[in-house]
Every structure is written in C-alpha cells, then in structure tokens.
A and B are shown apart, each in its own frame.
Chain A
Amino acid sequence: MISRRRVLLGSAAAAGTLLVGYALWPSRRRARADQLSAKPGERYLAYWIKVADDDTVTVVIPHCDMGTGIFTALSQMAAEELDADWGDMRAEAALPDPLFANGALVEGFALGREGLNRDSIPAFLQGSVLATGNKLAQFMDIQVTGGSSAVSYTGVYGVRVAAAATREMLIAAAAERLNAPRDAFRTERGRVIHQPSSQSFRFGELAAAASRYAPSSQPKLKPRSAYTLVGKPVARFDIPAKVNGSTRYGIDVSVPGMQYGAIKIAPIFGGKLVSVDEQQIAGKTGIKKIIKLDDAVIVVADRFWRAQRAMDALEPVFGDGGNAQLSSSTIRQRRLAALNQGPIKRDRSVGAGDKALQNGTSLECVYHVPYLAHAAMEPVNATALYRTDGTLEVWAGTQDALGARAFCAKAAGIRLDKVAFHHYPSGGAFGRRLPGLWNFLGFAVKAAMAMPGTALKLIFTREQDLRHDYYRPNVTSRFKARTNPAGMPDTWVNEYTTDSDSNAEAYISYEVPNQAYGAVKVETPVPVGPWRSVESSWHGFFIESFVDELAHQAKRDPFEFRKALLKNRPRHLATLELAAAKAGWGSTLAPGRARGIAMVACFGTVVAHVAEVEVSEGGDCKVHRITAAVDCGLAVNPDGLKAQIEGGIVFGLSAALYGEITIARGAVEQQNFPNYPMVRLADCPAIEVHLLESDAPLGGGGEPGTPPVAPALTNAIFAATGIRVRELPIAKHALGKDARPAAFRMETDRGSDAAVAIS
C-alpha cells in the first residue's frame, strides 16, 4: 500500500501548510536548553535556533555529520527565513538529550494518529521503532540521520519554521523598543528595520528581549519565489577542518587511561564461543584482559595494534549455530524456490492486475542482486567507560545520537540519565550506523562493563567490519509483461523476494494500465539493514532493466520507449529528457561504445543517468561517462547536492561493477578491500550532474543518485554487446572472449535467469 505518510506529506507540502508547529517550545524547556547548551551571551529563541549578543545565529542540528553537508544546508534554510547575514551563521550538533529530539522528522513522516504500523515506516526508521516497542512517545526520542530526510523533513517542517518564528520574535522585540506596530518592520541581513524611520537594530541587540516572547507555531513563511540564499551554492562549514586533519571522528577519541579492544566475532552467523586458549597469547606485551562474550572474544591491551596482533594470534573456537551449510547458492536457491512456490503476498493491483496475463505473457525476466557491505572508510568503533558508581559514558559516531544513548542505557541495564553520550562525526555511514545496526555499540558497552573503571576503545578491523555488517539484502525479482501490437506494455506483473515486507519502491512511474505487485518473504540468518538508497537500490535496477528489455523487444529506442510511458509524468519526463540531451543521446559514438539510460524516483527526487561504456573484445567493461539529471524540487545548496549525486554515482558504480558479499559455510567470504573492491580514481568515469528546478516539494539528496547507476550501465552493456546482465555485479559476467570463470562464484544453474520471449 502507499503509506499514509506519503499521502499526507504530499498534500501538506503542496498546500504549503505545516503538519505541526515545531517552533512552539514552552519557555520552561527553552530555559533548560539554555542551561544545557547555550554559551555565555547566547540563548535559544525557538527550537534549534540560538541568537547571541554578537549577532551569531547558531542552528542546533538534530542530525549527525556523515559528510552530506546537511549542517550547511539546514543553516541556509534557517538564514533564509530569518533574513540573517550568512556570515553570522553557525551550526552545531544537538546534544543527545530528549529535549533536542527530532520530532519534525517523526511528524514529517506523518505516522498518523492510528498508531505505528510497520508497513508505514521507512526502513531507515524501523530500527528506532522496533527498538522502542512501537511506543510513539519513545519513538519521538530520535535524532536519526537517514532516508535523505534532513532537508525535506527536518528542514521543511522543523528548522525553517523555527527560524521564521525567531524572526517574528526579533521583530516583536524591536516593536516593543520603539513602541511601534510590528508590521512597520522588515528584516534584512541580520537587522530588524523600522521602515518609516529607517531606524534599525542588529539581531544581537534584540535577542535577549526577544527571548521573552513565545515562538509562534504558525509563523509566516517565505514563498519560494522570495528566496535569496536557498538555491545558491555556499561553501560547506565542515570542509576546512576536513582538509587539515583536525576533524575528530569517533575513532580519534582519547580518554585518560584508555585501553584498546580488538574483537573477533563468531564468523558463522549464529555461532557461539566454545573455547579460547589464553596461553596462545601469554606473555605478549601490553595485554590487559581477554573478554569472553557469548558470540565474540575481545582482547584488551594498552595499544590497539598490540590488541589486534594478539587477537590475530588467538584462535578462539566458535560453534556454527547450525548454519554451516549456509551459502550464497543455497540462499539463492531459496529465493528462487520461494518465488516459484509462494505464498506471494499481493500488495497492489491496478486495472485488471495479473488477471490481464490470462491471455498470455510477452516477456518474462528474473533479476538478482547480491548482499553488499557498507564499508565506510572509518571502520565501526566505540569508546565506553562503565564506572563503579553504575554510570556509563560513551563516545562514538552513529546516525542517531539520542537513539544510541538510549541503546547503550538498555545494553547496560541502566536509566538514560545514567548515560553520558558524546557524539562524533562519522567517517562515512551509508546506513551502517543507523539504529538496529549497532553491534559495535553493544560490544563496546559489554566490554566496558567487564572492566569497570577503565575506558575502552573498541575498533573493528576492516575484516571484522566487512564480515559483521548488516548487509544490503540479496533479492530476486521476477517480471512478466504483456505488450500490445505496438510493443508497449499493457500489463506489468512484478513479484520479488523480501527480508521484511512489501516495498512501495517496486511501484513503477510508467503508465501501464494493468499492474500487479507481490512479495514473498525469505528469511536467512544473515543480518540485513538499510544501505544507501535502501529498497530503491534493488528495485531501481530491476524495473529499469525490465523496461529496457521491453524496449528492445519492441525494437524501440529505450529513451523514446520510456518517454512514451511517461506522458503524464512531466517531472520524470523533463528529467529523463535533460539527461538524454546533455549526454548527446542518439549521436554517434566511437566503435565499441554504447549508451544506456535509466531513471529512478526516490526520496522525493527524480534522477536519470545516461552511462557511456566501452566493452573490449576480451570483455573488459570501461565506464567513460555518466551524465545525470536531477529534480529535487529545489536544491538548497546546489553545489552540495551535486556533490551528493556524484558521490551516489560512485557508490552505485562500485556496487554495480564489483560489489558482492558472498556466504560460504555460513560466513562472509570477503575480508578486506582486495576482495571487496571499490572504484578508485582509475575507474571513475567523467561525471556530469545537471539540476532541474521544479515546484515539487524539496526532495532528498544523499541517496537518489545511486539507484539508476547499475541499470544505466547494464543497459549500456546490452547496447554494446547484446549481453543482458540480469545479476549484479557486472564483474561476474563474461562480456567478451575471456570467459573469466573465476568471476563466477555461484555454482547455480544460470539457465533459470534467461529471458523468455514468448511469441
């Protein structure tokens, strides 16, 4: 079903109204916020907005910095509504305190009053919801960064409103001072100006008096047409500290007396620790303790490298948890069997649905995507100190500081107010540090509790980080279509495997009169979790591959074919057309080169990519260029958005070309970057990003660049070679003379994937 949140959001945003007034903040709570996090000379005026005597405006961001530039973009949105001077703007992370919980995000998703329903909760929030037992009051205690939500929810429903309310309070203070009506004032570049007299006040001069007013929950917001700062490129706040090594990530924390932990987790999923021979590392320098947990061993030493080397020398014995037979091929067979045997849960039917196939199927295809690891550059880590008085202090980078604090309290079995949590920027996250994916926090807390009074920094090696991730699920998807005599589809039936529920991301933007969707659940012991662009990372590949196959079956140009199916989708059409135009779609290319096109709309943003690839005679695939067109409504910081799309493309490229986590004998086979390769400068194509502006609500930026990459590539490979890649990654397939059997790690019958053309 289309979840209620989307319907509500769409209509509310279109009408320019707000769901809830987040600016409203009782003065009692403002006083506490001042006490917790206002520096001398500054004070909170509304939720998330502090104004100082020296005119500095600080936006207190209920999100985490993982490199997407949201601290800067949210500050732009605040400065716009405030008419602040951009040079006066600052941003800081909100404290992980319930006082600074991101209610705007929760309300933004409009979970409704009928209670929480798992189907209505986006994947990146599910960890939070499930952890709180679906209690709305507790679910409100989150500061999640994910779902490309910072601008489109926190910004639109939170920060922007708070800033507009702050502006009204500053005007009220000026009006009081001059004993003049409020509507005689305007604001400009950090000043409140009395228009009749031209007398003006700096924000800083008014801030103390303004704090005596209550923020309005329904302040007047600027129309988009009046924006002067939002929509203009600005330099990101966080970059100067990231070029001189001074940004401190969680891994850089130093606490007096701190010791270091290296961990080895049971390699087979579900395995338990059987035994450890401590004699294997007896006498090694600096070793403090061997901590034996249910499913892991942690060696604690005075230096990390000593702990790590001792851990390498230790050969703990783990059980297999009954999963010794588990492998990628057995899981793949289970997915195929589930699709063939069902039961398939239908979640949407349009027109005659799958009944329309009674008269025949024109094309049937099956696609697969593998497990993927997040592999952020900063391996997961956390530092924890459990004191003998029963309090806990934790230092870490996550995607939800407040949620992480609550998680640590629960893990330690103590109250939230007994936990101090220090939050740090993340050296990449991509979903890995979201709620529900916190094995690193759990292990750090357990280890600290085994050594009361000692601060312990637990760092996963790259091997442990890769082998104990929560993976992007592997998914199989089957499509059936019936086409009319012109080759255009009149029926589209899609059934796919899922680790949880049906995905709205499977629904197509294309106009097909009869549609049916269904999912079949396949559960495995392999932990899974959100990975940049979540469900769209697989459905984007599936849908855009199948529509391309239909185009070729109809002997139509894939771009023209899509256009014909998007007549009633002007936003999608414009995006697709811009990508094609900028890429020179249809113009002649050098021999061996070809283009592929794909378009995916997700997180409120439409993205179309054209990939230009070259496949050598031997079968080596080189990606020369990716041309992207993006419509996110309005890009708050266009340069920042372009950077996110570029990054999303490279992320999608690594996955499409080589990305695959395989399971053998119940454990992950990949160990480190050499067998989980990443795109580097040498493999990175030229990337061009073109932005469109539309009147659509502000969409997300962090994720939408990723999904169209894989299908644009495989569609280009088909155009170049006639070989249709239906299973990622591309490196598994022989695209030329070289059979390269080593790339085929799965020993299954590939015949079942063949497209069946039924005449």
Chain B
Amino acid sequence: MQIELNVNGAPRKLDIEPDAPLLWVIRDELGLTGTKFGCGIGACGACTVHVNGKPMRSCVLPVAAVATAEITTIEGIGAQGLNAVQAAWIEHQVPQCGYCQSGMIMAITALLAENPTPSDDELKTLVTNICRCGTYPRIRAAVRSLAASGARS
C-alpha cells in the first residue's frame, strides 16, 4: 500500500506492506542506517527512534501505525549540530563499540525532554536499553551532568 512517512521533517512516499517493521523501512528504504537492529523483538532498544517525541522501539512497530506521525532518527536530532546529549556523550567519552548508542541517545534525549532533571532512579527505570560494552557508568555520569545543567537553566 502507499504510505507517506514523515522522517526527520521530510515527507517520504513509499509503496510497502503496512506491517513492514519501521526499523527496516528506515534502514533499507530510506537509507538511514544510524538506527540499529539488535534483537528484533523490542528487547534491547538499539532501534529506538522518536515517534511524536516519544521513544519507540522501531523493530516491532508496523510502518502503517506511524504513517501520520513525526518520526525522528539519530540522523535527525543533531541536524543543527550536536544536541546536548550527544555533546555530553563526547564530553564523557561514553561510546565504546557505539552500536547501541544511537538508540541509547534517542532514549535519553526523549527522557530529558520530558524531565530535564531525572534522578538516577528515574533514569534506570525509564531507560532499559542494553549496552553490551557496559557504558552504563558513563551514561549515568553524562545524564547527571545534563540534569545538573537542566536544573540550572
């Protein structure tokens, strides 16, 4: 079927089955490979994108369900340079292999938009993405610094 998607502010027309997973549409139809395949069942969060600003796991999201939504991928959040989370990720030297970090940054960016000063407890409850390299201590430190600057502003 014909589906019109709005990804990173640009309308895209596609002829595709309505149940195609958004992850593979983003990666293979639109060529935006920053969003990653990790588990295919919504368990790891490597495929996290924003749908109307909310973090969603795109590997289990049928494309038809988001046809009218604003979708943002990792390529879209830093369009005017790095967003604050990405800058903090460099400052704290967070990534190792980097594969999960697109999803991680999308999840954290959405969390901070909702709550600029999350506690450690809120962070760990709301962000359940898996990082196999174990960058969690740095993620926590980076989010604390962002929360501190969020509290100041």
CB neighbours of A197 from chain B (8 A): none
CB neighbours of B102 from chain A (8 A): 245
Q: Does B64 contact A (CB under 8 A)?
A: no
Which of A68, A246, A639, A682 makes the CB contact (< 8 A) with B96? A68
Which of A244, A428, A430, A462 makes the CB contact (< 8 A) with B39? A462
**A646 near B134: Cβ-Cβ < 8 Å:** yes
CB neighbours of B96 from chain A (8 A): 67-69, 643-644, 647
**A427 near B98: Cβ-Cβ < 8 Å:** yes
**A242 near B24: Cβ-Cβ < 8 Å:** no
Q: Which residues of chain A from 419 to 438 have any CB-CB distance to chain B below 8 Å in the complex?
A: 425-430
Contact with B along A231-275 (1 / 0, CB 8 A): 000011011111111111101101000001000000000000000
Cα separation A672 to B42 with both chains bound (whole Å): 11
Cα separation A680 to B98 with both chains bound (whole Å): 16
Which of B21, B86, B127 makes the CB contact (< 8 A) with A681? B127
Q: Does B36 contact A (CB under 8 A)?
A: yes
**A647 near B37: Cβ-Cβ < 8 Å:** no
Q: Does A461 contact B (CB under 8 A)?
A: yes
CB neighbours of B82 from chain A (8 A): 243-244
**B97 near A378: Cβ-Cβ < 8 Å:** yes
- B129 CB to nearest A CB, Å: 7
**B98 near A238: Cβ-Cβ < 8 Å:** yes
Q: Which residues of chain A from 635 to 653 have any CB-CB distance to chain B below 8 Å in the complex?
A: 639-640, 643-644, 646-651, 653
CB neighbours of B134 from chain A (8 A): 646-651, 653, 679, 684
CB neighbours of B93 from chain A (8 A): 235-236, 239, 639-640, 643
CB neighbours of B117 from chain A (8 A): none
Cα separation A69 to B40 with both chains bound (whole Å): 28
Query: Which partner residue on chain B sits nearest A685 by CB separation?
Result: B137
Q: Which residues of chain B from 93 to 128 have any CB-CB distance to chain A below 8 Å in the complex?
A: 93-102, 105, 123-125, 127-128
CB neighbours of A684 from chain B (8 A): 124, 134, 136-137, 140
Query: Which partner residue on chain B sits nearest A646 by CB separation?
Result: B137
Cα separation A240 to B86 with both chains bound (whole Å): 9
Q: Does B65 contact A (CB under 8 A)?
A: no
CB neighbours of B100 from chain A (8 A): 377, 427
CB neighbours of A242 from chain B (8 A): 95, 98, 101
How many chain A residues touch the partner (CB < 8 A)? Answer: 63
**A427 near B138: Cβ-Cβ < 8 Å:** no
**A680 near B130: Cβ-Cβ < 8 Å:** yes
- A642 CB to nearest B CB, Å: 9
CB neighbours of A674 from chain B (8 A): 41, 43
**B24 near A303: Cβ-Cβ < 8 Å:** yes
Q: Does A316 contact B (CB under 8 A)?
A: no
Q: Does B12 contact A (CB under 8 A)?
A: no
Assuming the A-B contacts A679-B134, A681-B127, A687-B137, are A67 and B33 also in contact, with contact meaning beta carbons closer than 8 angstroms in the complex? no
Q: Which residues of chain B from 69 to 95 have any CB-CB distance to chain A below 8 Å in the complex?
A: 73-75, 78, 82, 86, 89-90, 93-95
- A595 CB to nearest B CB, Å: 19
Q: Does A285 contact B (CB under 8 A)?
A: yes
**A244 near B133: Cβ-Cβ < 8 Å:** no
Assuming the A-B contacts A304-B24, A647-B133, are A239 and B89 also in contact, with contact meaning beta carbons closer than 8 angstroms in the complex? yes
Cα separation A502 to B27 with both chains bound (whole Å): 47
- B14 CB to nearest A CB, Å: 12
**B37 near A254: Cβ-Cβ < 8 Å:** no
CB neighbours of A426 from chain B (8 A): 97
Which of A378, A651, A686 makes the CB contact (< 8 A) with B137? A686
Cα separation A639 to B94 with both chains bound (whole Å): 11
- A383 CB to nearest B CB, Å: 13
**A682 near B124: Cβ-Cβ < 8 Å:** yes
Query: Which partner residue on chain A sits nearest B33 by CB separation?
Result: A252
Q: Does A744 contact B (CB under 8 A)?
A: no
**A672 near B43: Cβ-Cβ < 8 Å:** yes
Q: Does B11 contact A (CB under 8 A)?
A: no
Query: Which partner residue on chain B sits nearest A286 by CB separation?
Result: B17
Cα separation A378 to B130 with both chains bound (whole Å): 12
Query: Which partner residue on chain B sits nearest A673 by CB separation?
Result: B43
Q: Does A291 contact B (CB under 8 A)?
A: no
CB neighbours of B75 from chain A (8 A): 244-245
Which of A243, A254, A461, A680 makes the CB contact (< 8 A) with B101? A243
CB neighbours of A375 from chain B (8 A): 132
**B123 near A243: Cβ-Cβ < 8 Å:** no
CB neighbours of B34 from chain A (8 A): 244-246
- B139 CB to nearest A CB, Å: 7
- A132 CB to nearest B CB, Å: 28
Q: Which residues of chain B from 20 to 77 have any CB-CB distance to chain A below 8 Å in the complex?
A: 20-21, 24, 27-28, 31-41, 43-44, 46, 73-75
Q: Does A338 contact B (CB under 8 A)?
A: no
CB neighbours of A249 from chain B (8 A): 99
**B136 near A650: Cβ-Cβ < 8 Å:** yes
CB neighbours of B41 from chain A (8 A): 462, 672-674
Q: Does B145 contact A (CB under 8 A)?
A: no
Cα separation A239 to B135 with both chains bound (whole Å): 13
CB neighbours of B128 from chain A (8 A): 680-682
Assuming the A-B contacts A425-B97, A428-B97, are A245 and B28 also in contact, with contact meaning beta carbons closer than 8 angstroms in the complex? no
Q: Does B7 contact A (CB under 8 A)?
A: no
Cα separation A245 to B140 with both chains bound (whole Å): 20
CB neighbours of A246 from chain B (8 A): 34
Q: Does A699 contact B (CB under 8 A)?
A: no
**B138 near A305: Cβ-Cβ < 8 Å:** no
- B28 CB to nearest A CB, Å: 6
**A378 near B135: Cβ-Cβ < 8 Å:** no
Cα separation A639 to B133 with both chains bound (whole Å): 15
Which of A244, A379, A647 makes the CB contact (< 8 A) with B38? A379
Query: Which partner residue on chain B sits nearest A244 by CB separation?
Result: B78
Q: Does B5 contact A (CB under 8 A)?
A: no
Q: Does A573 contact B (CB under 8 A)?
A: no
**A377 near B40: Cβ-Cβ < 8 Å:** no
- B100 CB to nearest A CB, Å: 5
**A643 near B132: Cβ-Cβ < 8 Å:** no
Q: Does A554 contact B (CB under 8 A)?
A: no
Cα separation A730 to B79 with both chains bound (whole Å): 45
- A549 CB to nearest B CB, Å: 29
CB neighbours of A377 from chain B (8 A): 36, 38, 44, 46, 97, 99-100, 130-133
**A378 near B99: Cβ-Cβ < 8 Å:** yes
Assuming the A-B contacts A647-B135, A684-B137, are A462 and B97 also in contact, with contact meaning beta carbons closer than 8 angstroms in the complex? no
Cα separation A461 to B43 with both chains bound (whole Å): 13
Query: Which of B37, B96, B105, B131 has the most CB atoms of chain A within a 10 A radius of its CB?
Result: B96
- B95 CB to nearest A CB, Å: 4
Query: Which partner residue on chain A sits nearest B41 by CB separation?
Result: A672
CB neighbours of A430 from chain B (8 A): 132
CB neighbours of B137 from chain A (8 A): 646, 650, 684, 686-687
Query: Which of B28, B90, B93, B134 has the most CB atoms of chain A within a 10 A radius of its CB?
Result: B134
CB neighbours of A640 from chain B (8 A): 93
Q: Does A376 contact B (CB under 8 A)?
A: yes
**B139 near A681: Cβ-Cβ < 8 Å:** yes
5 contacts between A and B (CB under 8 A): A248-B33, A462-B39, A650-B133, A651-B132, A672-B40
Given contacts A428-B133, A673-B43, A673-B44, could you give 6 more A-B pairs where the C-beta distance is less than 8 Å?
Answer: A238-B98, A239-B89, A239-B98, A243-B101, A245-B35, A679-B136
